[in-house]
Structures are given as structure tokens and as C-alpha cells.
Amino acid sequence: MDYVITDKGIKLLLETGFFADVSREAQEAISAERGHFYFEDIDEYLRNHRSSPRFREKLLDELEDNDEFRIFSFMYANDLVERGKIPSNLPDNLMTAISGFVNTEKWTNQRYRHNFRHINDRFITCVNGDTHGDFFLQQYNYVFDDSEFLFPEASPLVKKLKQKDIGKLYGHYDYWTGFLEHLILYSLQIKKEVPFRENFEEVFYRGNLPSETPGMVLSPALETLKFRAKEKKIFGIPLYPGWKKQRDSGWSFTGQIEKSRGFIMDGNLVYCDEDSDGDIEFAYYGKFSSPRVFITPDMIEPLMRGTITLIRDGAGRNQPQDPGLIMKYFPYDLF
């Protein structure tokens, strides 16, 4: 089981102005070589650094020999103090929130170089790129065990999870922009305003796309979008139920990522794994397992922000301008 920061902890970091700096520094730490810590050195380290005695005691009680996981976040939070990234006179509750945030990022990121995390009242949702540039989306159960907390004043900020992995989506490096297209299509099909449609250049490119030429990975998909716009070829994500009527009306369908397919069900974008023994059957598509990945309408904006940023910054193998070109040339008028 793992300690993660709660919405109240995130709110505290935002209100005190530390969220952006801590997030950036945490990513740098997670991407770097972590080194190895020995159990007998941990207590000495915590005593020599600014740490709550109760937090230290709780961690040491649960650590096993050479267990680096729980201690890493707190060690790094104190390292931020030493390097002058955060003040040395912060109250214990804020230090606890910072430690919980770093620990959450480390847990959800694991070995990946890029991470985007959005918290709502049901899931922690992460979009990651691995060292090969492949696409990962993972969702984790956001159910807390209120019987387990570090110490009373920390319990609203950092809590223990009852359950972790509940669903995942995988695609090769060329699926990054495909997932961005899915999010745009989902917005259009549920008649929701597409986030960043009018201001993506200002938000992600300081006002100007670096190039109008797509990278090699995006080029075929962008040509398809331009062709559909020119020929008015309507396409979309299958609806369940009710998508067959659209198919009979001349729609073509997208939504496939590796062995999963996206569907719009009950107003949510869900991904189902192909499964010959699955309990959901879609005509023309076959059988699928019950949905494991859920994207709700309120998650579109943060997921688009994270996905565009990650593509731009090299999570896959796209060029920086590629997500901007998707936003610019997507055939919105077809909808």
C-alpha cells in the first residue's frame, strides 16, 4: 500500500504557490538515477534533516531492509530545502504535503520519463511515455483507507490507498496523436467545447507554431485529416448503443489503440480490451471485456493539456509542432 497526496494536499500546494516548483523538481528527481539507500542509514538521514519525529517513526516502522520506496519522497523533499528550492522554515503540514506529492509522482510515474496526473473524485489518471516513446494511460483507484494515516494533522493531506491499478491503455509511439484526436472527437460528439481550440498556440507555443511541416510520425495521420476535411468524410468514435445508425449514414469510425477500442458509453469515453470471452459484444467489432479506462467529460481539458504538453516535449517520437498541427487542421466543421 502507498501514501498519496489528497485533493486537500494539492490545494495547499496551489494556495501557497509551491505546486509548480515542486512538480517540476519532482519530475527531475524521478527521471534521474535514484541511487541506493541502506536501511541503517535512513534513521540517521532523517535525524540530520528537518523531519517530523512522528513521520520518521511511522516510516521506519514499515520499512524493510533496503526498502527505498517510501523513504525516497521524504528524502527528496528535504533535498529541495537544502538546494534552496523551497524555504527551510515551512510548517510541518506543508512539508508533509510536499513529501506526499513527490511520493505520489514517484508511484504513478515509476520508470517513465513523462507523467501527467489528474485527480478527480474517482481516479488518479496518468498519461506516460516510456524510454521508447510508447504511449501509456493508467488509472488507479482513488479510495483511501481512513484507518491508516501518518499522524492526525497529516491525515487530510496524505492518505493510504486501499487499491491501486484498475485499468490501463497501451499504444506504440505513433498513438500519441491518435489519442489526442480521440479526445477532440469525444468533445465534439458530446457537444462540448474543444479545449484550447482557439488558443492552443498561445498556451503551448508562446504564440507561434515552430513549424508547419509535420514530423515523420504524424505526416500520414495529418494527411488523412486534411483529406477528410476536403472530401467531407465524416468519422467518429463508435457510440454504444446507437452507433449502428451512424454507420448506416456513412460514418467511418476510429477509436482503436493496439488491442483496445474506444467507445462512447453513457456519455463517457471508455476503452475496452478485445476479448473472445468478453461480456460485451459490439456488432462488426467482436467481443470486449468490460470497460477498464473511463474518461469523463470533466477530464477532457486536463487530459488534453497533459497530452499536448507531453507530445510537444518529446514523450513519443513526434516533433514539437505535431500536436499543434492536429489542433489547427482538425476538421471541426464536419461536426
- DSSP alpha helix (H) spans, 83-162: 92-109
pLDDT of residue 140: 75
- How far is Cα 194 from Cα 71, in angstroms, rounded to an integer? 41
Q: Which domain holds residue 251?
A: 174-334
pLDDT tier for residue 179 given thresholds of 50, 70 and 90: very high
pTM to 2 decimals? 0.73
Q: How many domains does the chain divide into?
A: 2
What is the DSSP track for 191-218? T-PPTTTTTHHHHHHTTS-S-SSPPTTT
Domain boundary among 130, 148, 171: 171
The residue type found at 28 is E
For the cut 80, the answer to whether the pLDDT of residue 301 exceeds it is: yes
For the cut 90, the answer to whether the pLDDT of residue 190 exceeds it is: yes
pLDDT tier for residue 176 given thresholds of 50, 70 and 90: very high
Q: List phi, psi (to 5°) of 32.
A: -85, 165
pLDDT of residue 212: 95
Per residue in 103-130, pLDDT tens? Answer: 776 655 444 444 555 555 556 788 888 7
Per residue in 8-31, pLDDT tens? Answer: 888 888 888 888 878 776 666 555
- For 107, the grid coordinates are 508511484
Lowest mean pLDDT among 11-15, 35-39, 45-49: 35-39
My answer on whether 153 and 205 are in the same domain is no
Per residue in 131-155, pLDDT tens? Answer: 788 998 888 766 666 665 555 656 6
Residue 335's nearest CA partner among 224, 180, 221, 191 is 191
pLDDT of residue 76: 66
pLDDT of residue 184: 98
pLDDT tier for residue 258 given thresholds of 50, 70 and 90: confident
Q: Which of 19-33, 167-181, 278-292: highest mean pLDDT? A: 167-181
pLDDT of residue 181: 97
Task: Please report, to the nearest 10 degrees, the dihedral formed by the alpha carbons of residues 245, 246, 250, 252 taken in order.
Answer: -130
Domain boundary among 126, 148, 171: 171
Q: 163 and 283 in contact (C-beta within 8 Å)?
A: no
My answer on whether 209 and 117 are in the same domain is no
My answer on whether 117 and 249 are in the same domain is no
The residue type found at 43 is D
Domain boundary among 171, 199, 227: 171
My answer on whether 181 and 152 are in the same domain is no
Contacts of 8 (CB under 8 A, 6+ apart): 156, 157
DSSP β-ladder status, 239-240 and 260-265: parallel
My answer on whether 179 and 162 are in the same domain is no
Question: What mean pLDDT is reported for the chain?
Answer: 78
- DSSP alpha helix (H) spans, 171-321: 176-189, 200-205, 219-231, 243-248, 300-312
My answer on whether 166 and 178 are in the same domain is no
Residue 148's nearest CA partner among 225, 58, 279, 211 is 58
For the cut 50, the answer to whether the pLDDT of residue 254 exceeds it is: yes
Cα 254 to Cα 135, 199, 239, 330: the distances in Å are 17, 26, 11, 14
- How far is Cα 287 from Cα 68, in angstroms, rounded to an integer? 42
pLDDT of residue 101: 80
- How far is Cα 10 from Cα 201, in angstroms, rounded to an integer? 28
| CA neighbours closer than 13 Å in the CB half-sphere of residue 213 | 1
My answer on whether 236 and 268 are in the same domain is yes
pLDDT tier for residue 328 given thresholds of 50, 70 and 90: very high
pLDDT of residue 89: 75
For the cut 60, the answer to whether the pLDDT of residue 97 exceeds it is: yes
Q: List phi, psi (to 5°) of 40.
A: -70, -15
Cα 54 to Cα 47, 50, 64, 93, 202: the distances in Å are 12, 12, 18, 12, 46
My answer on whether 296 and 250 are in the same domain is yes
Q: At which residue does the C-alpha cell 516548483 appear?
A: 21
My answer on whether 150 and 202 are in the same domain is no
My answer on whether 140 and 189 are in the same domain is no
Q: What is the mean predicted confidence (pLDDT) over 40-45?
A: 62
pLDDT of residue 274: 85
What is the distance in angstroms between the CA of the first residue and the CA of the last residue of the chain?
45
My answer on whether 78 and 101 are in the same domain is yes
Cα 134 to Cα 47, 175, 217, 315: the distances in Å are 41, 8, 12, 8
My answer on whether 190 and 151 are in the same domain is no
